[in-house]
Amino acid sequence: MQARRNEVELKLIVPSDFELPPLEGGKSGVATASEETPQQLNATYFDTPDLRLMRHGITLRYRTGEGNGPLWTLKLPANGDLARRSELEFAGEPGQPPPEARNLLFAFLTDGPLAPAAEIRTKRRRWSLANESGEKMAEITDDRVSVVDGEKVKERFREIEIEAENIDRKGLERIASRMRKAGAKSEQRSKASRALEALYKLSSQNGHRVSPKDDAGATVRPSLKEALRRLLSFDPYARLGDAEGVHQLRVAARRLRSVIRTFVPLCDPAKIQPVVEDLRWLGGVLGEVRDLDVLEIRLHEASGEDSTPFLEALAPRREKARATLKDTLNSDRYVAFIQRVTDLTQDDTLVSESSGAAKEVLPGLVWRIWKKLRNAGRALTPESEEADFHRVRILAKRARYSAETIADYMPSKQKKQLEDFAESAESVQNILGEHQDAAFARNIIREIAADRPHDVRLTSRAGTLVECQKAIAEEKRDEFFDEWKRLDRKKNTKWGK
């Protein structure tokens, strides 16, 4: 697995004559600020001709001037939080991005070219901030940046970066607060984004925001676009073999499918059906990997060393599932799927005709999903089949995602009501998710034991593990009925009135 570093940093934009305030003392907890050797950095940023990486908050650069020598660096966003990014470094020659980096960006590039898009020269001053114990808390860099086009400087700006070492986001904010009081302003755009905006005369302003009074059909494409952005943001993490990355990619695929389900009454079904089929295919592949990852965790938690024979038996399955996922993410069908969704986000004819104001139409789209959930949930009893509980879990997930999808397009009061409803539906979903995981674990344990009847070490553990998962499932059933009462209340569905 490619090594990566997770960085948490805040950026501040300052005028050229800005004077750094005293860094020590006060609520920041900084005891000493030691200036490091200044640096002269030269970076070339690579992107596609349509600046696809920049639009997704990704940067790929080749930079010289640092102590560890020339390096390729890929920075990936953490689901929209511009203060948190994963940083990966690669060796390689200038001018040609490393194949490993290109592979991680496959879903963004497909077979498209990467070429130099911006060149930046930075004069950097650095300070190491430590607490009273001498432990490094953060590093502050004061960068005077020149965006160059050939020999001509197209833009100059100065920014302050505060990067966490042994403090959290709140600790960073306390340090940044001192800077803001001295005249600094928050600016989370990367240097590359600012450079590209200057070079290509791009606007950093967002487009028209759909309001509750706008036509309901106007919410479809922005919702699809956001769901696609979320899915693509986790694609590189899944390629890294990161278990949480696989989980989040699966969740993102489910969210995209939910967006489509929510807006089905407003859309041309012929245009969305191929995407639904692709999502079912992708979800199946991701689900197999994720279920086995969760099972491994449950086996560790259930019996520690007693799970060893099952973990050994499980290893080939996990390896095969991950190999299938790798092939899937590099397949022609996956590329076609990404392109189909991208095309939908740009299709003016996806929604055929006006359907009424968003605030009037959208609640009804969620209500029809809630009705299915309500009927299925009320029909459950403690003796119901596992499949029935699983069905309620799926419907709770759909209702939650649908409510979250439309909430941003609603007036503030209904927005809050939908958010509260989604939170309750999530609680039901999570409880039944634990129930389903326990049932899955129990069935796989039995299956492995049946395949190895002569493995005394393994079969002797099977009964205990099965009983453990059975007990967890029964506990979750009890929790469900308590949580269901909280969800199935009239005040939870006021948004639909």
Tens-digit pLDDT profile for residues 153-207: 999 999 999 999 989 889 999 999 999 999 999 987 889 999 998 898 876 555 5
Let me know: does 72 contact 80? Beta carbons within 8 Å. Answer: no
For the residues 272-297, what does the mean pLDDT come to? 94
pLDDT tens for 116-165 read 999 999 999 999 999 999 999 999 999 999 999 988 999 999 999 999 99
Structure tokens that stand for 231 in this block: 């899915």
* CA 350 distance to own-chain centroid: 26
Query: Residues in the chain, how many?
Result: 497
Q: List, by residue range, all CATH 1.40.20.10 domains of the chain.
A: 216-496
Rounded-to-integer distance, Cα 494 and Cα 55, Å? 38
Let me know: does 20 contact 183? Beta carbons within 8 Å. Answer: no
End-to-end CA distance of the chain: 51
* CA 496 distance to own-chain centroid: 29
Task: Identify the DSSP state of 79.
Answer: T
Most confident of 251-255, 457-461, 492-496: 251-255
Which residue(s) pair with 129 in the sheet? Answer: 33, 138
- What CA–CA distances, in Å, run from 81 to 57, 84, 85, 118, 395? 10, 6, 8, 24, 29
Helix (H) or strand (E) holding 482: helix 456-487
CATH of region 216-496: 1.40.20.10
Out of 3.40.50.880, 3.40.50.720, 2.40.320.10, 3.30.160.100, the CATH code matching 5-200 is 2.40.320.10
- Confidence category of residue 439, pLDDT binned at 50, 70, 90: very high
Rounded-to-integer distance, Cα 484 and Cα 374, Å? 9
Indicate the SS3 state at residue 24. coil
Give the pairing of strands 39-47 and 32-35: unpaired
- What integer pLDDT is reported at residue 453 of this predicted model? 86
- What integer pLDDT is reported at residue 308 of this predicted model? 80
Q: List, by residue range, all CATH 2.40.320.10 domains of the chain.
A: 5-200
Structure tokens that stand for 50 in this block: 């349509």
Q: Which of 272, 295, 281 is nearest to 250 (CA)?
A: 281
Which residue(s) pair with 156 in the sheet? Answer: 146
> Does 306 have pLDDT greater than 80?
no
- What CA–CA distances, in Å, run from 408 to 215, 218, 259, 413? 14, 13, 13, 11
For the residues 110-120, what does the mean pLDDT come to? 89
> Does 77 have pLDDT greater than 90?
no
